[in-house]
Amino acid sequence: MFNLVLLVQVVPFQLLLVPLYVLIVRNYGLGDNYLGMILPFAINSAAVFIFRQYFLQLPKEMFEAARIDGAGELSILWRVAVPLVRPALLTAVLMTFIGPWNEFLWPFLVTKQVGMQPLAVSLANYISTVAARATNPFGAILAGACVLAAPAVALFVIFQRYFVSTDVGSGVKG
């Protein structure tokens, strides 16, 4: 299963574009729909890889101690594992958000209505239509690029204090 996750990492998204378009737009009818733009990015194989690697470094003794104390599997997940893997969780959330937020090609193919297009596609449309006729369009283009980057930078700044190295071995004696 791990090798399959690594194999998915090797396949570029552009290779899957035509089959995804046929599946999502033609078969499911999700063209010009937010769900059609979000669905291909719902599962992030890099996030699966990060979680696997992070959970492998957690000491088994902490989970065994929780079981001895009478905790169930769901309680162990929420009270032991999730607090320990918070940096990996935040990394996965940020990666899952930033990837589709900066994506241009898929939303460009899926959406035809101007009101449905995300900011990256709208900025490209502005560059190709309005900026070609303007005398100095670079100010508006750079402002659009800053607005496009602002949510990703803001999320990183907000969650920066949680990206600390945890010493998960400190809870285990020996």
Contact 50, 6 (CB under 8 A): no
Residue 13's identity, in one-letter code, is: F
d(CA 66, CA 144): 51
Contact 17, 51 (CB under 8 A): no
* Rg, Å, the chain Cα set: 21
The single residue listed with the structure tokens 């939303």 is 107
Contact 49, 6 (CB under 8 A): yes
For the chain, 174 residues long, give each residue's pLDDT as a single digit of tens: 889 888 888 988 889 999 999 999 999 999 999 999 988 888 888 899 999 999 999 889 999 999 999 999 999 999 999 988 888 999 899 988 988 888 899 999 999 898 898 998 988 888 888 877 877 788 888 999 999 999 999 999 998 887 765 555 555 555
d(CA 73, CA 64): 11
pLDDT value of position 166:
56
Q: Could you tell me the pTM of the whole model?
A: 0.76
d(CA 73, CA 164): 26
pLDDT value of position 68:
94
User: Which residues are CB-contacts of 164 (< 8 A; sequence separation ≥ 6)?
Assistant: 87
pLDDT value of position 65:
92
Rounded to the nearest 5°, which phi and psi values hold at 164?
Answer: -115, 150
The single residue listed with the structure tokens 């995300």 is 118
